[in-house]
Amino acid sequence: MLLHVRHTSTYTYDGPVALNPHTLYLYPRTYPYQRLMAYELIIDPVPSKIVRNVDAEGNVQQVVFFHGPTHHLSVTADMSLQSDDFNSFDFVIFPFESKKLPGFRYEPGVEALLHPHLDRSTVTAEIELWARRMAAGANWDTIEFLSVLNRTIRSFTYETREHGAPLPPEQTLMNRHGSCRDYTVLFMAACRSLGLAARFVSGYLFGNPQQEHELHAWAEVYLPGAGWRGYDPTEGSVVNNRHIFLTSTARPELAAPITGSYSGSASATFTNELMISSDNAVEI
């Protein structure tokens, strides 16, 4: 299917400000079953320069430079993507020993590359105990554990929190409620507690009315022989062709779609508008 996304972020200042360089993560990543067909970035005031880079984790990073004072900033990303249906479970874990937990191990060369995604700084004793109990209930089967973990977090009470960093994962576990980004960092911490590399993904989700008007977050787990595989604990499902990828990172705080600052004493207000639609026409 063909997916259309139009995402507008508007900042209004109650006095004149000078905009410092802003970094945007609003350009979709390409996956084997999803490709970008059209993209337009509209910014007001018109920037003096836009530099498009690939960052250290392979994401497209757009750095925007401005000149002159302004009372507002509007950023619109308009994109169309061909997103093909696929079987999320069409993979083979190899070596076969990786099918079981605990004792899950990556090959040394791969593990060195995955080191940032194995960071245990947010893993507490409570999270590890919780994860191990689920793994034991899943007979220490790697894929079954990931499915149980996904469904368990899905059973928490969802809340909308438009701004702010993800909550500490143990707080989400104790409270049994949170936003999609809170669910994602808890999922990541549980995976990392058992030696599974996990990363944070920011993007969009089509088909869920609750998520279609805000950015969405989910996790990816690196499985030997299968590579990065997506799990969405907010949906309680594996990632499919309704997910649109913007940024993936070992550190969730780096996934913000827009970061930047301004010089001046004015206060700012923020509004956000997101529209996602589908056209089943297939483009060749």
Q: Which helix (H) or strand (E) holds 135?
A: helix 125-137
Which pLDDT band holds residue 283 (cuts at 50, 70, 90)? very low
Residue with tokens 């950015």: 215
Which pLDDT band holds residue 94 (cuts at 50, 70, 90)? confident
Measured over the CA atoms of residue 253, residue 258, residue 263 and residue 268, the dihedral's sign is negative
pLDDT tops 60 at residue 22: yes
In the chain, the amino acid numbered 220 is E
More confident residue, 12 or 209: 12
Residue 212, pLDDT score? 63
Write out pLDDT tens, residues 102-133: 777 899 999 999 999 999 999 999 999 999 99
Name the least confident of 45-49, 57-61, 169-173, 209-213.
209-213
Residue 211, pLDDT score? 66
More confident residue, 99 or 180: 180
Cα angle 36, 6, 221; round to 5: 55
Write out pLDDT tens, residues 211-268: 666 899 999 999 999 999 999 999 999 999 999 999 999 999 999 999 999 999 999 9
Share of the chain above pLDDT 90, in %: 84
Residue 202, pLDDT score? 96
Beta strand residue intervals within 85-215, DSSP E: 157-158, 177-178, 198-205
Residue 170, pLDDT score? 97
pLDDT tops 50 at residue 282: no
Cα separation, 253 vs 26, whole angstroms:
15
Residue 281, pLDDT score? 44
Residues 185 and 166 sit within 8 Å (Cβ to Cβ): yes
Query: For residues 245, 250, 251 and 257, what is the CA-based torsion angle, rounded to 10 degrees?
Result: -20
Beta strand residue intervals within 214-254, DSSP E: 216-223, 227-232, 237-238, 243-249
Which pLDDT band holds residue 196 (cuts at 50, 70, 90)? very high
Cα separation, 172 vs 118, whole angstroms:
20
